[in-house]
Amino acid sequence: MRWLRKNLIPIIGILVLIYLFVPIAVVAILSFNKPEGKFNVAWNQFSLEAWQNICGVPGVCGSFVTSMQIGLIATLVGTIFGTMIAFALVRYRFRGRSTTNLLIFLPMATPEVVLGSSLLALFLNLAFPLGFWTVTIAHIMFIISFVVVTVKARLQGMDPRLEEAARDLYAGPRATFRYVTFPLVLPGILGAALLGFALSFDDYIISAFNAGTLVTFPIYIWGAAQRGIPVQVNALATLVFVIALITVVSVQVVGSRRRRKLESTVSS
């Protein structure tokens, strides 16, 4: 009983984590399912069919590729623009700082329905054709805000003395940026880019409003939800998840293992 009380927090913590992962597990498990009817909601029998024939259903892989393409372009542009703004905010003085902050903050405070529908209204009014580029434009828009917040935090956490030391050691402004500032900020930028890509790849609402006839992966899933989601979708989603998870975990593990090995050989 006492053990329970002392470990209450860890137990609840683990339970919450399990709660977070149960649906993901269900998605993964159902990717090995051969559903009875069209709807893959209940376990029927084990089958590797979806994995072996992952592009078997028309449109699945096409939409997947489309989402990848949009994700890469939007992440690239959004990260560059967002990083530039973060640098301006942290390293320079200029008038209009509060307006800038407001402009960055508002998209994050606006519900996706409003973001998506207002953009649609703009494109309709301009008679701009809906499709790949309208979706990409929309994604760049919301990625910028997230990148600014992430990179800004990273920049502010950086010791300003390091840049002073670089200048003291004969590094001009460009050299200081290249050899000191940029390498130290890079992890933050990469993290922001990863977040941006995840947000873009998984975006439904804003994309749905602005895609026209284009089918992204989430749009495909939504459309299929009425008719029955093909098992291949589960397989693809599980694949993406596993690859992403392994990448992030291994970066962490490699980093900390290297750190620990070197620390243990430090003499005092």
Partner 1 sequence: MAATDGVQDLQLVNLVKAFGDFVAVDDLTLTIPAGSFFALLGPSGCGKTTTLRMVAGLEDPTSGQILLGASDITNEKPYKRHVNTVFQSYALFPHLDIFENVAFGLRRRGIKDVAGPVNAMLELVELGPLARRKPAQLSGGQQQRVAVARALINQPGVLLLDEPLGALDLKLRRQMQIELKRIQTEVGTTFVHVTHDQEEAMTMADTVAVMNKGRIEQMGAPIEIYELPRTVFVANFLGQSNIVTGSVSGRSGEDIVVSAYGASFTIPINRSTRQDGEIVVGVRPEKLSIAPAGSAVPDRSNRVTGKITDASFTGVSTQYLAMTAWGDEWMVFEQNRSADILRPGDEVVMHWAPAHTFGLDVPPEA
Partner 2 sequence: MPALAPTSGGSSGVVISGAAAQRRPRTAYLLLIPGLAWLAIFFVVPLISLFFTSLQAPTGKSGVYQPAFEVSNYLVAIQEYWPTFVKSFIYSGTATVLALIIAYPLAYFIAFRAGKWRALLLVLVVAPFFASFLLRTYAWRTILADEGFITSFLNALHLLPQGRILNTPIAVVLGLTYNFLPFMILPLYAALERIDPRLVEAAGDLYASPFTGFRKVIWPLSLPGVVAGTLLTFIPASGDYINATLLGAPSDRMVGNAIQTNFLQFRDYPIASALSFILMAIILAVVFVYIRRAGTEDLV
CA distance 92 to 99: 15
> Each residue of 67-105: b (16+ CB within 10 Å) or e?
bbebbebbbebbbebbbebbbebbeeeeeeeeeeeeebe
Of the residues 36, 178, 252, 258, which one makes contact with partner 2 according to CB under 8 A: 252
Q: Which is nearer to partner 2, 2 or 95 (CB)?
A: 95
- The region of 10-18, 48-56, 68-76, 177-185 touching partner 2 under the rule CB under 8 A is 10-18
Nearer to partner 1, 36 or 164 (CB): 164
Site for partner 1 in 131-170 (CB under 8 A): 159, 161-162, 164-170
Interacting positions 173-202 with partner 1 (CB under 8 A) = 175-176, 179-180, 183-184
Which are the contacts of 191, defined by CB distance < 8 A and separation ≥ 6?
Answer: 150, 154
Q: Report CA dihedral (202, 203, 205, 210) to the nearest 10 degrees.
A: -130
- When binding is defined by CB under 8 A, the residue of 50, 60, 70, 115 that contacts partner 2 is 115
Within positions 72 to 91, which residues make up the interface with partner 2, using CB under 8 A?
Answer: 80-82, 84-85, 87-91
36 binds partner 2 (CB under 8 A): no
Residue 98 CB, nearest distance to partner 1 (Å)? 23
Indicate the residue among 13 and 172 with the shorter CB distance to partner 1. 172
Give the separation between CA 72 and CA 65, rounded to whole angstroms.
Answer: 11
Of 37-56, which residues contact partner 2 (CB under 8 A)? 41-42
Is 22 a binding residue for partner 2 by CB under 8 A? The answer is yes
Inter-residue contact 43 to 32 (CB < 8 Å): no
- 100 scored as a contact of partner 2 (CB under 8 A): yes
Please report whether residue 34 would count as binding partner 1 according to CB under 8 A. Answer: no
With CB under 8 A as the contact rule, the residue among 141, 158, 171, 214 that binds partner 2 is 141
- End-to-end alpha carbon distance in the chain: 45
The answer to whether 179 contacts partner 2 (rule: CB under 8 A) is no
Residue 166, contacted partner among partner 1, partner 2, none, CB below 5-8 A by kind: partner 1
Smallest separation (angstroms) from partner 1 to the CB of 75: 24
Contact 208, 116 (CB under 8 A): yes
What is the nearest approach in angstroms of partner 2 to the Cβ of residue 92? 4
Q: Which stretch binds partner 2 (CB under 8 A): 52-60, 68-76, 92-100, 178-186?
A: 92-100
Q: Which two tokens stand for residue 5?
A: 């009380």
Contacts of 141 (CB under 8 A, 6+ apart): 78, 107, 115, 119
Give the interface size with partner 2 as a residue count (CB under 8 A).
94
